[in-house]
Amino acid sequence: MAFWNKDGNGAAVTEEQVLDALKKVQDPDLRKDIVSLQFIRNLKIDKGTVSFDLNLTTPACPVKDQMRDEAVALVRALPGVQNVEIKMTSEVRQAPQLDKSALKGVRNIVAVGSGKGGVGKSTIAVNIAASLAAAGARVGLLDGDIYGPTTPIMLGLDLPPKSVGNRMIPQEAAGLKFISMGLLVKSEQPLIWRGPMAHKALQQCLFDVDWGELDYLVVDLPPGTGDVHLTLAQAVPLTGAVIVSTPQDVGLRISMKTLRMFQQTRVPILGIVENMSYYICPHCNSRDHIFGQGGGSRAAEQLGIPFFGEVPLDLAIRTQSDIGMPIVLAQPASPSARVLREITEKVAAQISIRSYETPVLEVE
């Protein structure tokens, strides 16, 4: 007789009972229960021990711990269960339509844009990409800022990529695969390109690169709206775009133009990141809202899109960028790194929602 069974009636819990209990756990982003979403894998019942994998749509899931705890509590409450072993895994969903192109190993392409220059768009892009990679995702970063590429500095890379045959091999740094359009040209030469050249260069960086298998390809766009933006929106189905802005009205108003361009080309706006939100005085730790307060969250509210968070003007973010080691990796416990990580998780959640909801469109 099964003496280990609490109830003493010898009846071990069944798979149905476990799945029924787990149906009560909702993914707050996809608004469905984790059983219907097929997140439960490898369910095994061995006497009083229930084990399964909880397979989420992103390793950077903001509610990972909450869902795990809920699942464990519900299963443990079932009669006949002494032990619950849960393994957290993830599988990033493939955005529709991407699988047929040359980028077939790439699951999601996400653009990072801004209305004006100098808002820290590249800093945000690098740190989001590095955070996603640190969470365990396979990430590529395409620096599309042909006119003033700063991303290579932030990753400590300044040599052009090698190529094999007519394909470029991405460089690797900070756990990322990386290609910069700027590095295709000698560094001291100013870049004077007409539209068609920018168009061609971006296409090469997308299609003639061995990106391999990627969960996320982050594209750092030049400021404003121009050739690179349009080419990107036309060449690939983007999962969405993240807009970076400062709290200042001017910055925001120009970001609206970027926003409108994305809307016209039907690129979903994932949300707004506000950068340079406040300055923390290194001497007295007081907060100064140098560029005003609340601009980004107000704009997000007006437009009905998510607000991802406020990144401070922090000396450490700047110095880490300058020495080629993003702050989220170099000082992961610092307040700024924590903010950037939270933003990344919210971005990842939005990406999961988009690739889940967007229907597949094809010409029959």
Coil, helix or strand for 166? coil
CA distance 174 to 165: 26
Closest distance of CB 280 from another protein, Å: 34
CA distance 344 to 246: 18
Under 8 Å between Cβ of 78 and 6: no
Which of these, 223, 226, 177, lies nearest to 201 by C-alpha position? 226
Listed ranges 46-54, 112-120, 200-208, 260-268: which one lies at the site for another protein (CB under 8 A): 260-268
Is 16 a binder of another protein (CB under 8 A)?
A: no
Listed ranges 19-27, 64-72, 174-182, 228-236: which one lies at the site for another protein (CB under 8 A): 228-236
Tell whether the torsion through CA atoms of 71, 73, 74 and 79 is positive or negative. Answer: positive
Is 267 a binder of another protein (CB under 8 A)?
A: yes
Closest distance of CB 265 from another protein, Å: 5
Is 238 a binder of another protein (CB under 8 A)?
A: yes
Is 265 a binder of another protein (CB under 8 A)?
A: yes
CA distance 87 to 267: 35
Closest distance of CB 203 from another protein, Å: 13
Number of residues that bind another protein (CB under 8 A): 23
Is 1 a binder of another protein (CB under 8 A)?
A: no
The burial of 333, by beta-carbon neighbours within 10 Å (0-12 exposed, 13-18 middle, 19 or more buried), is given as exposed
- What angle (nearest 5°) sits at the alpha carbon of residue 166, between those of residues 107 and 181? 65
Is 284 a binder of another protein (CB under 8 A)?
A: no
Q: Are strands 26-27 and 32-33 parallel, antiparallel or unpaired?
A: antiparallel
Among 54, 244, 259, 300, binds another protein (CB under 8 A): 259
Is 263 a binder of another protein (CB under 8 A)?
A: yes
CA distance 228 to 218: 14
Among 159, 190, 286, 364, binds another protein (CB under 8 A): 364
Listed ranges 25-33, 234-242, 274-282, 288-296: which one lies at the site for another protein (CB under 8 A): 234-242
Specify which residues 44 forms β-bridges with: 51
Closest distance of CB 259 from another protein, Å: 6
Q: Which residues bind another protein (CB under 8 A)?
A: 97, 233-238, 256, 259-260, 263-267, 302-303, 358-359, 361-364
